[in-house]
Amino acid sequence: MMPINQWPSAERPRERLLAQGAAALSDAELLAIFLRTGVSGCSAVELARQLLQQFGGLSALLAANKQEFCAIRGLGEAKFVQLQATMELARRHLASALQRESCMNSPQAVRDYLRSHLQGLEEERFLLLLLDSQHRVISLEALARGTIDAAAVYPREVVKVALSANAAAVILAHNHPSGIAEPSQADRHITGRIQQALALVDIPVLDHLVVGSGESCSFAERGWL
């Protein structure tokens, strides 16, 4: 197989990124730039395609644990560490932007930030995004792990955390490991209980985001809040 450095310049991922921007590249091309090199008989792009197919997409690959990631030929601990650092930089960049301006002005940034923490996880997690009076991010708190109806997501604990942070509003978020973002009846029930509890201390719930695989569902957009 012809190595990438012998491809026509317009077809090489790095050159395409410089000429057209990162958004123009496919998942495989972006991953190939991260990998830098392929393995014997396999270019970085082809290796990236194989990885995406093997893991079932980019989200699952990025969520892979160290053992799963390092077990693949062409990967290893150094690349795993590099990937984790890259993802954390992205999360911190998103958080920094939300701390400077109102979340209501950047709903997509809020969604991207929460998805970066929840998408691809093998277990369900429930997060609480605490906001100040200008709807800027104060902090992101993890309240529970496991299925929402079985995990300890107690409205009184949500109120306690919100008051401790002097939050003026909150956004709820959790993931569905099944990959399906459609909220369940249990999701709607716990959201209503939390909303009622916070209303007693004048803290509104601005949204509840359910994160699936490559998609998310907003309670606010559904008109459920």
Q: What is the DSSP track for 128-163?
A: EEEE-TTS-EEEEEEEEES-TTTS---HHHHHHHHH
Residues of the domain holding 57: 4-88
* pLDDT tens profile 84-135: 888 888 888 877 777 777 777 778 888 888 988 888 777 889 999 999 999 9
Domain boundary among 59, 88, 117: 88
Which one has a higher pLDDT value, 79 or 3? Answer: 79
Q: How far apart are CA 74 and CA 44, in angstroms?
A: 9
> Is-contact 103 110, C-beta < 8 A?
yes
In a domain, 127, yes or no: yes
**What is the domain count for the chain?**
2
How far, in Å, CA of 14 to CA of 181, rounded? 34
| Nearest C-alpha neighbor of 57 from the set 216, 209, 212 | 212
Percentage above 70 pLDDT, the chain: 93
- 151 band by pLDDT with thresholds 50, 70 and 90: low
Give pLDDT tens digits for 155-165: 999 999 999 99
Residues 130 and 83 reside in one and the same domain: no
- Looking at the structure, tell me whether residues 34 and 127 fall in a common domain: no
CA separation (Å) from 118 to 26, 27, 29, 125, 167?
22, 19, 24, 7, 22
